[in-house]
């Protein structure tokens, strides 16, 4: 083992890493490669900053969120699983009632590895997507928040790599290396899932991403937290505690943008988007277009509406439904059906399919319910200013690349169109090149005076961890 990794001190963990020779040997190669990846692909020019970050140093209530200034390359990326619960069982599928697996069941090995790799791949991808945004942050508060999200996505990568190293031997180590080799948006070696190859070019996109796409993370992690493979379940359960802050950053970020815009619209008594833009804020129509884009690419992340993969993940006991153990049915789903949307004769219709094959769709529907509640909260913010504009989720089939709606051209209202008709409206529904140029032009420099905010966003209601809003969240040295 290289002597420069002091396990106890540098890698906080509750997996007895200090005594696990197998894991130590695997990390000996991977940890330096991870640091190389962080220096290359982590947040630009950030390596020497002192950032007021939370670090998980244990899973106890007073240990999972310890706040202090940290230079990000020295962040203590740790390995944590929630403590085991005695006698946990596989709670669904054909193995229901068996003791939860503490080791990888041989017959499910490749399926399980694929799930872990797919989950793990998203984590570094999002850091890569966001790496330039620190250069144009609207405040020190927001800069600190994006860095917090970035280091925790790094930790979530560690969480999946722990599982690969600890439970999958040589092919686990190879997969762990490949997680550091793929690159978001790379033509030859892209990230696995679509949304993680899309650029996140500005802060509105970042907040939308953390609201919509991190929430896919929440729902996928929740399903994996039901897994009969106990180490995966316990790892994902702990990751969920961190995920909440990421979604908070997204929801409040978009909320603060619409608040600022709507307040200025009310104050100046204007509603023409050009007049709104002239005040140096983002018009609500553009916010709607970003919403349409991020919502639709995130819906794709749930996979096909009809999926035999999802059925296998469930039947074997590897991936459950959202809050599986709270659902009052047989947890086998052999006779149940579920409604999925599809296009027939130029219209969207629902059809009943076996519930086992519709598990991606069901999770997507659970997700949509929660997303709608967030959009309603943004609309409340707008409503308070007296402005009549309301944000809306587009139809589930709008701009989809995966599943039943892929290949169809569906308007935000749910109308099935020809490709030409759809294209003629495209720039009304999704950000155009000109929209991106406008938003990015607003975000050219970063605001570095404590307590000051860019013109296009309202300040938050409160600071981080009881600190004031004008706290020096990042010191540039
Ligand atoms: N893009 O049977 P199907 C997060 C592939 S986010 C490209 O419908 P399945 C985070 C699919 O892989 C949460 N390809 O799919 C958020 C399959 O390919 P193969 C991430 C796609 O397997 C923000 C084929 O199409 N975690 O944590 O039922 C920041 C047939 O597909 C896409 C997970 O996703 C796509 N969108 O379901 C940081 C959980 N969708 O195998 C982090 C683990 C499908 O035929 N993953 N394909 O070559 C899974 O549970 C499943 O893999 C999926 C797909 C739900 C993603």
Query: How many CB atoms sit inside 10 A of residue 28's CB?
Result: 12
Of the pLDDT bands very low, low, confident and very high (cuts 50, 70, 90), residue 7 is: low
Residue-level pLDDT at 2: 44
Residue of 242, 245, 43, 35 whose CA lies nearest to 159: 242
Give the closest residue (by CA) to ligand 1 atom 23: 214
345-401 pLDDT tens trace = 999 999 999 999 999 999 999 999 999 999 999 999 999 999 999 999 999 999 999
Nearest CA to ligand 1 atom 40: 303
Cα of 120 vs centre of ligand 1, distance in Å, is 11
Helix (H, G, I), strand (E, B) or coil at 336: coil
pLDDT band at 129 (very low <50, low <70, confident <90, very high): very high
Residue nearest to atom 49 of ligand 1 (CA): 115
309 lines ligand 1 (CB under 6 A): yes
Which atom belonging to ligand 1 lies closest to the Cα atom of 297? 36
DSSP-H helix ranges across 76-187: 109-129, 140-167, 169-179
Task: Give φ, ψ of 60 to 5 degrees.
Answer: -70, 160
Please write the tens of the pLDDT for every residue from 197-224: 999 999 999 999 999 999 999 999 999 9
Of residues 435, 450, 454, the one with CA closest to residue 144:
450
Binning the chain into helix, strand and coil, the percentages to the nearest 5 are 50, 10, 40
pLDDT tens, position by position, 159-201: 999 999 999 999 999 999 999 999 999 999 999 999 999 999 9
60 Cα to the center of ligand 1, angstroms: 32
* CA-proximal residue: ligand 1, atom 47 (nearest): 303
pLDDT at residue 304 greater than cutoff 90: yes
CB burial string 414-440: b at 16+ within 10 A, e below: ebbeeeeebeeeeeebbbeeebbebbe
At 269-301, the pLDDT tens digits run 999 999 999 999 999 999 999 999 999 999 999
CA distances from 475 to 44, 144, 320, 434, 461 (A): 15, 10, 43, 34, 22
243 lines ligand 1 (CB under 6 A): no
Whose CA is closest to atom 19 on ligand 1?
A: 309
- Residue bearing the CA closest to ligand 1, atom 33: 119
Query: What is the overall mean pLDDT for the chain?
Result: 96
Are the C-beta atoms of 207 and 257 separated by less than 8 Å?
A: yes
Q: Which of 309, 353, 400, when mutated, tests ligand 1's pocket best, judged by the most ligand atoms within 8 Å of its CB?
A: 309
Q: What pLDDT, in 10s, does the model give residues 433-446?
A: 999 999 999 998 99
Q: Output the pLDDT for position 5.
A: 61
For 126-141, give the DSSP string.
HHHHTTTGGGG-S-HH
Tell me the β-bridge partners of 342. Answer: 349
pLDDT at 226 over 90: yes
Distance (angstroms) between ligand 1 centre and the Cα of 114 equals 10
- Residue 302 near residue 367, CB atoms below 8 Å: yes
126 lines ligand 1 (CB under 6 A): yes
Relative to the CA of 308, which ligand 1 atom is closest? Answer: 2
Can you tell me the mean pLDDT for 257-275?
A: 98
Q: How confident is the model at residue 3 (pLDDT cuts 50, 70, 90)?
A: very low
Quick one: pLDDT band at residue 86, thresholds 50, 70, 90? confident
pTM for this model (two decimals): 0.97
The reported pLDDT for the residue numbered 4 is: 47
Q: DSSP letter at 15?
A: S
Ligand 1 in reach of 122 Cβ (< 6 A)? yes
Tell the residue nearest (CA) to atom 54 of ligand 1. Answer: 303
- What distance in angstroms lies between residue 115's CA and the mean position of ligand 1's atoms? 8
**Pocket lining: 220 vs ligand 1, CB cutoff 6 Å:** yes
Regarding beta strands 409-410 and 416-417, do their DSSP bridges make them parallel or antiparallel, or are they unpaired? antiparallel
Nearest partner of 436 among 199, 202, 260, 210, judged by Cα? 202
Cα 305 to its chain centre, rounded Å, is 20
> Is there an atom of ligand 1 within 6 Å of 214 CB?
yes
Distance in angstroms (rounded) separating the CA atoms of residues 421 and 184: 31
Section 299-314 average pLDDT: 98
Count CB-CB contacts under 10 A for residue 341. 18
Question: Is the CB of 223 inside a 6 Å radius of any atom of ligand 1?
Answer: no
Q: What is the pLDDT of residues 9-66, one digit of tens each?
A: 789 999 999 999 889 989 989 999 999 999 999 999 999 999 999 999 888 888 888 9
pLDDT of residue 230: 98
């Amino acid at each position: 083992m290289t002597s420069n990794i002091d396990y106890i001190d540098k890698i906080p963990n509750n997996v007895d890493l200090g005594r696990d020779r197998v894991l130590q040997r695997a990390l000996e190669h991977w940890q330096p490669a991870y640091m190389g990846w962080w220096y290359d692909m982590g947040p630009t020019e950030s390596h020497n900053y002192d950032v007021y970050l939370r670090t998980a140093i244990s899973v106890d209530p007073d240990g999972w969120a310890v706040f202090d200034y940290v230079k990000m390359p020295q962040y203590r990326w740790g390995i944590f699983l929630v403590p085991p619960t005695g006698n946990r069982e596989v709670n669904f599928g054909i193995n229901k009632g068996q003791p939860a697996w503490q080791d990888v069941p041989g017959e499910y090995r490749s399926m399980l590895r694929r799930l872990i790799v797919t989950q793990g791949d998203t984590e570094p991808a999002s850091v890569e997507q966001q790496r330039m945004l620190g250069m144009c942050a609207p405040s020190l508060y927001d800069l600190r928040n994006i860095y917090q999200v970035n280091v925790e996505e790094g930790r979530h990568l560690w969480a999946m790599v722990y599982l690969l190293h600890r439970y999958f031997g040589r092919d686990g180590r190879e997969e762990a290396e490949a997680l550091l080799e793929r690159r978001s948006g790379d033509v030859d070696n892209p990230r696995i899932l679509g949304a993680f190859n899309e650029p996140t070019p500005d802060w509105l996109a970042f907040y939308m991403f953390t609201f919509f796409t991190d929430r896919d993370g929440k729902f996928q992690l929740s399903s994996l937290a039901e897994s009969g493979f106990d180490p995966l379940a316990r790892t994902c359960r702990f990751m969920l505690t961190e995920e909440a802050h990421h979604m908070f950053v997204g929801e409040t970020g978009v909320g603060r943008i619409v608040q600022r815009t709507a307040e200025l619209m009310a104050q100046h008594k204007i509603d023409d988007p050009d007049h709104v833009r002239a005040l140096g804020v983002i018009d609500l129509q553009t916010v709607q277009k970003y919403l349409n884009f991020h919502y639709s690419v995130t819906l794709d992340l749930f996979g096909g509406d009809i999926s035999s993969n999802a059925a296998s993940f469930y039947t074997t006991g590897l991936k459950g439904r959202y809050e599986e153990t709270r659902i009052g049915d047989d947890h086998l789903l052999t006779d149940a059906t579920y409604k999925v949307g599809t296009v027939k004769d130029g219209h969207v219709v629902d059809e009943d399919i076996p519930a086992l094959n519709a598990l991606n769709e069901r999770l997507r529907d659970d997700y949509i319910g929660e997303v709608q509640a967030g959009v309603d909260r943004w609309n409340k913010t707008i409503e308070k200013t007296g402005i009549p504009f309301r944000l809306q989720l587009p139809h589930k089939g709008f701009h989809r690349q995966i599943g039943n709606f892929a290949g169809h051209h569906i308007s935000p209202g749910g109308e099935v169109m020809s490709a030409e008709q759809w294209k003629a409206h495209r720039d009304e529904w999704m950000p155009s090149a000109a929209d991106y140029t406008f938003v990015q032009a607003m975000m050219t420099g970063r605001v570095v005076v404590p307590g000051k905010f860019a013109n296009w966003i309202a300040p938050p209601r409160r600071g981080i961890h009881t600190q004031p809003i004008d706290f020096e969240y990042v010191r540039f040295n």
